[in-house]
């Protein structure tokens, strides 16, 4: 652990490919032992940032410190303490998964006896099959095993859940939480917020090579968008409209006057308190507030609408 | 605990034993096809000699068939200078390309280098694996030639055969290391393959042109093919100058590969 207690620190880290700026001066500080998520659409610079930390590519300017060392000079000794899962994992060896993992074990930190089998079993991966015959999801599992098996101090995982089915995703997220609980630092990226939301302590949002914001998941939740639905008795649509029109963070208000209760749907961004206070004077027959959708609130930060983003996946 | 000695070298050899068997079969097949025919073809009064004398002299010189009626000339013209040269060159270029450029283009170099290995170590261990495979092909050719020496009435000496195999290996190493170096510089398979094949073809062409007249003989001195075979090692023994150039440039290209790969970004 570094003296500052940071597993990763970058200062104005910049990477240009010719005239294209992939990373435009990012500052990140990842606490040792934490789970740090990086989200952003494809091309935001997430993969470039990770590749810089592993000295696969070199910065144009700025500096990075990983486990207290500069990746440029840390060399094999530093990388042995890191487990890396690349974003586009391409494995096509003729050998079995076990043989490939044995090879990776020989070029990384020492692997405890049984660790390989334990992780593979957890993810439901057959190590006796030849790598090139594995499905995309199973190759991804193999990638996860090689990243975790030597219990590295730092895990750098680029889009780790891509190709995994939901049950394995949950198992993977449990592994991330356990790694963090045992003092390992996890730095992971995604364009799917739900997994960051479940696993991460803090989140950096990248867009076009810049860090838009760094926030705890809790804070992000506070700025989150909530869909609300409520039913009222003894009040007209017009009265409701009038009562709620003064609330600045309320949008998409729709009121339906049916046979039964008057139904209201709306979207509240951020603080929910004004909305609650405003409806409290009426007789509330029914109320539901959806769990805030971080994805939607983050996409608002990106300035893209939700439809576009789902196309991107 | 498994041995951690030269992990990338061991992986490279483990990955390529199938292709090595194929190339070995090619070398053995060519030798077993050509050499046993010599007793029925060779000699200055033979059918072969008469046939060669009817061919255009430029063609004979291009194919280096001038001495084909001796055992040494025949072995060099048919195998080391032609089919064998082709086989070792293709194998060398394929392996030299795959070691860095191929691995980088298919995306696996990134993951290997994210582990506890240095780039220098990667270049050197993988090149060592290539050198071992090429040396095996050269050794295999020498063993088969010597085994057929008496039955095929080739009248070769062991020393000259060893010198020829060394030149043959040097020629393969040169093509492999050049492909490796260009792969390390560019990360592109097409450039690495073109470079490795290009240096071999250029060497062959320079040698063939230089063989036509005495005034162009100097071309053979700047041709890697000429460094290997100009002074007909199977007849005359080792050409130390030529061997020095082949192995010297091979070492230089490996150094270039190490420096180039250490300096640049790896493509994903």
My answer on whether A122 and A199 are in the same domain is yes
My answer on whether A242 and A258 are in the same domain is yes
Q: Determine whether the interchain pair A86/B114 forms a contact, defined as Cβ–Cβ distance below 8 Å.
A: yes
Q: How far apart are CA B47 and CA B60, in angstroms?
A: 15
Choose among A45, A66, A68, A88: nearest CA to A204: A45
Residue A140 located in a structural domain: yes
Average pLDDT over residues A6-34: 95
Q: Determine whether the interchain pair A79/B116 forms a contact, defined as Cβ–Cβ distance below 8 Å.
A: yes
Q: How far apart are CA A60 and CA A54, in angstroms?
A: 15
Choose among B20, B90, B68, B116: nearest CA to A83: B116
Residues contacting A308, CB < 8 A, separation 6+ = none
User: Could you tell me the CATH number of the domain that includes residue A152?
Assistant: 3.40.50.300
Q: What's the whole-model pTM score?
A: 0.85
Residues contacting A259, CB < 8 A, separation 6+ = none
Q: How far apart are CA B108 and CA A95, in angstroms?
A: 14
Q: Determine whether the interchain pair A88/B8 forms a contact, defined as Cβ–Cβ distance below 8 Å.
A: no
pLDDT for A297 equals 65
Q: How far apart are CA A51 and CA A59, in angstroms?
A: 10
Biggest alpha carbon–alpha carbon distance for chain A: 74
My answer on whether A85 and A210 are in the same domain is yes
Give me chain A's average pLDDT, please.
87
**Angle, CA A67 vertex, CA A91 and CA A184 arms, to 5°:** 70
In percent, the amount of chain A with pLDDT more than 70 equals 90
My answer on whether A113 and A184 are in the same domain is yes
My answer on whether A279 and A163 are in the same domain is no
Strands A154-158 and A210-216: unpaired
SS3 state at A190: strand
Is the pLDDT reported for residue B87 higher than 90?
yes
Pick from A47, A88, A103: which is nearest to B107 by CB?
A88
Q: Determine whether the interchain pair B14/A95 forms a contact, defined as Cβ–Cβ distance below 8 Å.
A: yes
pLDDT for B9 equals 95
ipTM given for this complex: 0.87
Residue A307 located in a structural domain: no
Q: Measured on CA atoms in the order B55, B59, B63, B65, is the torsion positive or negative?
A: positive
Give me chain B's average pLDDT, please.
93
pLDDT band at B248; cut points 50, 70, 90: very high
Question: Is B268 in contact with B114 (CB distance < 8 Å)?
Answer: no
Whole domain around residue A43: which residue ranges? 6-221
Residue A31 located in a structural domain: yes
My answer on whether A60 and A133 are in the same domain is yes
Residue A309 located in a structural domain: no
pLDDT band at A307; cut points 50, 70, 90: very low
pLDDT band at A3; cut points 50, 70, 90: very low
Residue of A nearest to B110 (CA): A56
Interface test with A, best of B14, B105, B112, B115 (most A CBs within 10 A): B115
Residue A78 located in a structural domain: yes
Q: Could you tell me how many residues make up chain A?
A: 313
My answer on whether A55 and A193 are in the same domain is yes
Measured between CB atoms, does B56 come within 8 Å of chain A? Answer: no
Choose among A143, A221, A140, A155: nearest CA to A189: A155
Phi then psi for residue A287, to 5 deg, are -150, 130
Measured between CB atoms, does A148 come within 8 Å of chain B? Answer: no
SS3 state at B158: helix
Residue A116 located in a structural domain: yes
Q: How far apart are CA B70 and CA B160, in angstroms?
A: 14
Measured between CB atoms, does A136 come within 8 Å of chain B? Answer: no
pLDDT for B124 equals 98
Q: How many domains does chain A fold into?
A: 2
> Of A246-260, B101-115, B135-149, where does mean pLDDT reach its minimum?
A246-260
Q: How far apart are CA B25 and CA A235, in angstroms?
A: 91
Which DSSP letter does residue A158 get?
E
**Angle between helical axes of B84-97 and B119-149 (0-180°, round to 10):** 160
My answer on whether A61 and A123 are in the same domain is yes
> Of A29-43, A104-118, A179-193, B44-58, where does mean pLDDT reach its minimum?
B44-58
pLDDT for A2 equals 42
Q: Determine whether the interchain pair B111/A89 forms a contact, defined as Cβ–Cβ distance below 8 Å.
A: yes
Residue that is written with structure tokens 């034993």 in the block: B17
What the block records as the tokens of B128 is 């060592």
Is the pLDDT reported for residue B79 higher than 80?
yes
> Of A22-36, B39-53, B84-98, B168-182, where does mean pLDDT reach its minimum?
B39-53
My answer on whether A214 and A257 are in the same domain is no
**Angle, CA B200 vertex, CA B197 and CA B201 arms, to 5°:** 85
Is the pLDDT reported for residue A306 higher than 70?
no
Read off the pLDDT of residues B147-203 as tens digits, 9 standing for 90 and up. 999 999 999 999 999 999 999 999 999 999 999 999 999 999 999 999 999 999 999
Residue A301 located in a structural domain: no
pLDDT for A98 equals 96
Phi-psi region of B220 (alpha: psi -120 to 50; beta: other; left: phi over 0): alpha
| Alpha helices per DSSP H over B107-157 | 108-113, 119-149
My answer on whether A184 and A251 are in the same domain is no
Q: How far apart are CA A192 and CA A213, in angstroms?
A: 17
My answer on whether A99 and A207 are in the same domain is yes
Is the pLDDT reported for residue A312 higher than 60?
no
pLDDT for B233 equals 95
Read off the pLDDT of residues A274-305 as tens digits, 9 standing for 90 and up. 899 889 989 998 899 876 666 666 666 656 54
pLDDT band at B36; cut points 50, 70, 90: very high
- Which one of A187, A202, A221 terminates a domain? A221
User: Could you tell me the CATH number of the domain that includes residue A285?
Assistant: 3.30.70.260
My answer on whether A235 and A181 are in the same domain is no
What the block records as the tokens of B176 is 């492999």
Residue A62 located in a structural domain: yes
Is the pLDDT reported for residue A180 higher than 90?
yes
């Amino acid at each position: 652990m570094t003296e500052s207690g940071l597993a990763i620190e970058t200062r104005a880290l910049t990477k240009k490919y010719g005239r294209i700026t992939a990373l435009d001066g990012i500052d990140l500080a990842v606490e040792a032992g934490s789970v740090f998520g990086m989200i952003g659409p494809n091309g935001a610079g997430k993969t470039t940032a990770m590749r810089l930390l592993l000295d696969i590519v070199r910065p144009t300017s700025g500096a990075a410190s990983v486990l207290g060392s500069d990746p440029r000079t840390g060399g094999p000794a530093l990388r042995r303490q890191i487990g890396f899962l690349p974003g586009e994992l391409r494995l096509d060896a003729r050998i079995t998964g076990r043989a490939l993992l044995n090879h990776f074990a020989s070029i990384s930190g020492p692997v405890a006896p049984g660790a390989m089998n334990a992780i593979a079993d957890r993810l439901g991966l057959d190590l006796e099959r030849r790598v090139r015959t594995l499905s995309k999801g199973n190759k991804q599992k193999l990638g996860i095993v090689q990243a975790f098996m030597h219990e590295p101090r730092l895990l750098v995982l680029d889009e780790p859940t891509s190709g995994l089915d939901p049950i394995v995703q949950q198992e993977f997220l449990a592994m991330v939480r356990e790694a963090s609980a045992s003092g390992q630092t996890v730095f992971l990226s995604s364009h799917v917020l739900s997994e960051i939301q479940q696993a991460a302590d803090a989140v950096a949002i990248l867009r076009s090579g810049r860090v838009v914001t760094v926030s705890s998941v809790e804070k992000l939740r506070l700025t989150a968008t909530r869909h609300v639905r409520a039913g009222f008795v003894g009040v007209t649509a017009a009265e409701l409209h009038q009562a709620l029109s003064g609330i600045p963070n309320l949008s998409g208000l729709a009121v339906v006057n049916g046979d039964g209760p008057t139904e209201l749907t709306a979207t509240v961004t951020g603080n929910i308190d004004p909305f609650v206070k405003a409806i409290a004077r009426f007789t509330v027959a029914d109320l539901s507030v959806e769990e805030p959708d971080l994805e939607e609130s983050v996409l608002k930060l990106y300035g893209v609408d939700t439809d576009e983003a789902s196309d991107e996946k | 605990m498994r041995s951690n000695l030269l992990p990338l070298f061991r992986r490279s050899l483990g990955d390529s034993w199938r292709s090595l068997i194929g190339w070995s079969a090619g070398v053995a097949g060519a030798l077993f096809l050509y050499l046993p025919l010599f007793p029925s073809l060779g000699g200055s009064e033979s059918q072969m000699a008469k046939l060669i004398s009817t061919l255009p002299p430029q063609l004979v010189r291009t194919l280096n068939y001038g001495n084909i009626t001796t055992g040494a000339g025949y072995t060099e013209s048919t195998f080391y200078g032609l089919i064998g040269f082709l086989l070792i060159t293709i194998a060398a270029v394929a392996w030299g390309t795959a070691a860095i450029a191929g691995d980088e283009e298919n995306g696996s170099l990134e993951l290997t280098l994210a582990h506890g290995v240095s780039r220098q170590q990667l270049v050197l261990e993988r090149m060592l694996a290539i050198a071992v495979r090429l040396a095996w092909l050269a050794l295999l050719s020498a063993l088969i030639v010597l085994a057929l020496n008496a039955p095929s009435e080739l009248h070769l000496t062991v020393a000259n055969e060893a010198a020829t195999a060394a030149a043959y290996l040097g020629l393969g190493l040169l093509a492999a290391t050049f492909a490796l170096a260009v792969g390390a510089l560019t990360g592109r398979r097409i450039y690495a393959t073109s470079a490795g094949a290009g240096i071999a073809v250029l060497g062959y062409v320079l040698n063939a042109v230089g063989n036509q007249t005495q005034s162009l003989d100097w071309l053979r001195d700047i041709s890697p093919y000429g460094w290997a075979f100009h002074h007909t090692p199977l007849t005359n023994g080792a050409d130390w100058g030529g061997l020095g150039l082949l192995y010297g440039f091979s070492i230089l290209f490996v150094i270039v590969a190490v420096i180039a790969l250490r300096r640049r970004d790896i493509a994903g």
